[in-house]
Amino acid sequence: MKKYSTSNVKIKRKVGLALSGGGTRGLAHVGVIKAFNEERIGFDYVAGTSVGSLIGALYCADVGMDAIVAEAKLVERRELLRRFLVNSDSANIARVANRLLVDRTFEQLSIPFTAVAVDILTGSEILLSDGNVAQAVSASCAVPGLFKPVRIGDRLLVDGGLLNNMPADVCRAMGAQIVIGVDLNHNRGSGARSEKLTDIVIAAWNITTKSTMYKGLQNSDIVIEPELGEYNRARLDNIDEMVAEGYRAAKAQMPGIKKLLGLK
């Protein structure tokens, strides 16, 4: 039987956290969670897409936020992407994730968690909530064109951002009555930084995922929007700055969040 953690403050209604995709800008999610930890606010349900699934899974596995930052600083680009970028092995993501998840299954997580992916064979949104967590995370993070799809059973899975980049509706389906969303790219769709292949692929992805935010925005009671436009979502530079910006954005919204949750 699953054993779920509870928050340190009494909240009458069930609360969900929906973490969006956004490449390496996902380190801002760490700062957001740090802000909630500081306020002793926990969550009953968590759902994540792409990098949001990675940070969400680690949070639900009780991995400390400082440990995530330390691991991120050790990760090298070549660990994740091939030299020429196209169709890098998604298992690389699973290996990096597993260094902190240590082969955990969803049943072993402290908080109910769902990772969002898309079956590229059928075009269907797939919710992953059982089996190996690192494998599910690698599927949710498999951006088409950058990573190979991940086969789980008879499904061929890619990044969930194709259909649902901030899965607040998934949190509601899990049982959340209040949902707080975190959007890493609220200025998405602004175009490419250069003519480099990486920047073009990322710009195309941002334009695509702009239209997949609708469900997330409609199902979130509050959306935290870190200002991350100056950071390249394909690089692991400025880690501390992105964490700090996530923290700042969450703290700025905290009075409204606490009011919504019925806290002083």
pLDDT at position 81 is 52
Least trusted range by pLDDT, from 24-38, 77-91, 173-187, 220-234: 77-91
- Sequence-distant (≥ 6) Cβ neighbours of residue 40 within 8 angstroms: 7, 8, 9
**Residues carrying an active site annotation:** 50, 159
User: How much is the mean pLDDT over the chain?
Assistant: 87
pLDDT at position 207 is 74
Residue 40 has pLDDT above 60, yes or no: yes
Q: What are 152-181's pLDDT values in tens digits?
A: 999 999 999 999 999 999 999 999 999 999
User: Which tokens hold the place of 180?
Assistant: 């707080």
Query: What percentage of the chain has pLDDT greater than the value 70?
Result: 84
pLDDT at position 198 is 65
pLDDT at position 240 is 94
For 202-206, which contacts have Cβ atoms below 8 Å and span 24 or more sequence positions? Answer: 202/23, 202/233, 202/234, 205/143, 205/161
pLDDT at position 6 is 43
pLDDT at position 188 is 60
pLDDT at position 97 is 87
Q: Report the pLDDT averaged over residues 22-32.
A: 93
pLDDT tier, 1 (very low <50, low <70, confident <90, very high otherwise): very low
Least trusted range by pLDDT, from 2-16, 80-94, 107-121, 219-233: 80-94
Q: What are 176-204's pLDDT values in tens digits?
A: 999 999 999 877 655 566 677 667 766 77
The whole-angstrom distance between residue 71's C-alpha and the CA centroid of its chain comes to 16
Q: What are 95-123's pLDDT values in tens digits?
A: 888 899 999 999 999 999 999 999 999 99
In terms of Cα–Cα distance, which of 230, 252, 125 is closest to 182? 252
Instruction: Give the whole-angstrom CA distance, residue 101 versus residue 63.
Output: 8
